[in-house]
Amino acid sequence: MAEENQPHSVPQTGQESPGGPSSAGQSSADTSSVESSPVTSSPLAGRNYSPPARRTPKRRRNIVILAIIAIAIVAGVLLWRYLSSYESTDDAQVDVHLYPVSARISGYVIRVNVNDNQWVEKGDVLVEIDPTDYQVALAQAQANLANSEATARSLNITVPITSVNTTSQLTFTASGIEDARAALNAAEKQLAAAHQQVEASEATDVKAQDDLVRYKLLVDKREVSQQIYDQALATAKSSTANVAAAKANESAAQQFVQQARSRLAQADANYKYAQTAPQQVSSTKDRALAAIADVEQKRALLHQAELNLQYTKIVAPDSGEVTKTVVVGLNVQPGQQMLTVVPLQEVWITANFKETQMKHMRTGQRVEISVDSNDRTYKGYVDSIAGATGPLFSVLPPENATGNYVKIVQRIPVKIVLDSGENHDRQLRPGMSVEPKVYLR
């Protein structure tokens, strides 16, 4: 049996172990033991031998485990950094400023040019109201304006005429006073002369009457002739008539004096009235100014009538889709809403973030908005942050100054504006629920 085992022991003796000289010495000892021992004893000796081929899988397993742990740590760090790099919420919706279109005048609707959900451009005529009444009002306003302008022109012409007339009237009345005074003086002198003439006539009449009485006695005694008596009688009658005439002249002279005084009073009154020439001119100017103001008022009424006629055509205030509640035949009143224009090209996102999410949120940060209706992601940025929490804008805001106060995390509205061209197809509709994701860094 020793001879059969030798061919196997020679290669073990001649082969150098990868472990170095110690391995070679061990191989020599194994060779000697093989030569002295049968083959069946070799497994007992192999219990102290560990070949490298058996240690390699264990080493690889440890390296793999360490690598997995390292990858898990790196992935965890990256995941933590990613999750802490944004804030998101599902309490968000699409908003827009709705444009309610209402009537500015009352009238009968004769035409509706749009249908529900129809796209219109800014300035398109949406509804037409019967313009007949407003055309009549416009014509009346034009006529009133023409009348006021004519009145204003005539008063403007009157102003210089009044100024000239009052100036000449003042001069004329001043000279009239002088003439009236001279006439009064003359009348008073005539009255004085007439009065003296009356006195002279009365004295003559007294003498004539006395002579007549004496001649009467003498003629009765036939001491004088009848002819002398007749002459005395004629003289007495003539003197009596002269007295009556003188008194009549005196009465006429008194009338002349009264007339002269009246003319003087009239001249004085005319002069005083003429002295109001500046006031008359000012009054005429004021009437002219009032006429000009009336022209401006009539022009404003004309402009209002023109506007009312324009208001019979109700136009779109902005481009967008229309929702209407008006039909032909409806009598509308001022302020009555007839349509609503939804400008889909001007939508934005209102996201209600919790106050615990607002620590690092700032304006201008990048945002991605996920929309379920079309399974698209839109890009935008934080435009602004509301100045107060949402409940404060409600009709009944909460009152925290109570004994049973419970702290509740509030939400703050954040306005998110889409980037240019993101909503070019206008698929975002106001009221849609969206999920914005604000990247904090």
pLDDT at 53: 55
**Phi, psi values for residue 51, rounded to 5°:** -75, 150
pLDDT at 276: 67
Amino acid letter for position 83:
L
Q: Alpha-carbon distance 111 to 123, whole Å?
A: 16
pLDDT at 351: 95
329: its two tokens: 């035949």
> Over the stretch 88-98, which tens digit does the pLDDT of each residue have?
999 999 999 99
Angle at 330 between CA 327 and CA 336, to 5 degrees: 95
Distances from the Cα of 36 to the Cαs of 22, 43, 251, in angstroms? 21, 15, 204
Overall pTM surpassing 0.85 (yes/no): no
Residue pointed to by tokens 């020599």: 28
Residue pointed to by tokens 């009346």: 140
**DSSP helix/strand/coil, 397:** coil
Q: Are 318 and 293 in contact (CB under 8 A)?
A: no
**What residues are paired with 233 via a beta bridge?**
none
Q: Alpha-carbon distance 54 to 157, whole Å?
A: 130
DSSP 345: G
pLDDT at 143: 96
> Over the stretch 128-167, which tens digit does the pLDDT of each residue have?
999 999 999 999 999 999 999 998 888 777 767 666 666 6
Q: Are strands 434-439 and 86-88 parallel, antiparallel or unpaired?
A: antiparallel
pLDDT at 164: 64
**DSSP helix/strand/coil, 220:** helix
DSSP string covering 317-356: SSSEEEEE---TT-EE-TT-EEEEEE-GGG-EEEEEEEGG
Q: Alpha-carbon distance 48 to 33, whole Å?
A: 15
Alpha helices in 15-118 (DSSP H): 21-36, 42-45, 52-83
State which H helix or E strand residue 323 sits in: strand 320-324
pLDDT at 33: 40
Radius of gyration of the chain (CA): 66
| 1 CB-near residues (< 8 Å, 6+ apart) | 38, 39
**DSSP helix/strand/coil, 182:** helix
Amino acid letter for position 368:
E
DSSP 90: S
pLDDT at 169: 67
State which H helix or E strand residue 111 sits in: strand 107-112
pLDDT at 412: 93
Q: Kindly give the parts of the chain with pLDDT less than 70.
A: 1-55, 82-83, 159, 161-170, 172-174, 219, 224, 273-278, 280-281, 402
pLDDT at 15: 39
- Domains of the chain are 2-83 (no CATH), 87-97+343-439 (2.40.30.170), 100-129+312-339 (2.40.50.100), 134-298 (1.10.287.620)
What is the separation, in whole angstroms, between the first and last Cα of the chain?
82
pLDDT at 190: 79
240: its two tokens: 């009596």
State which H helix or E strand residue 416 sits in: strand 411-418
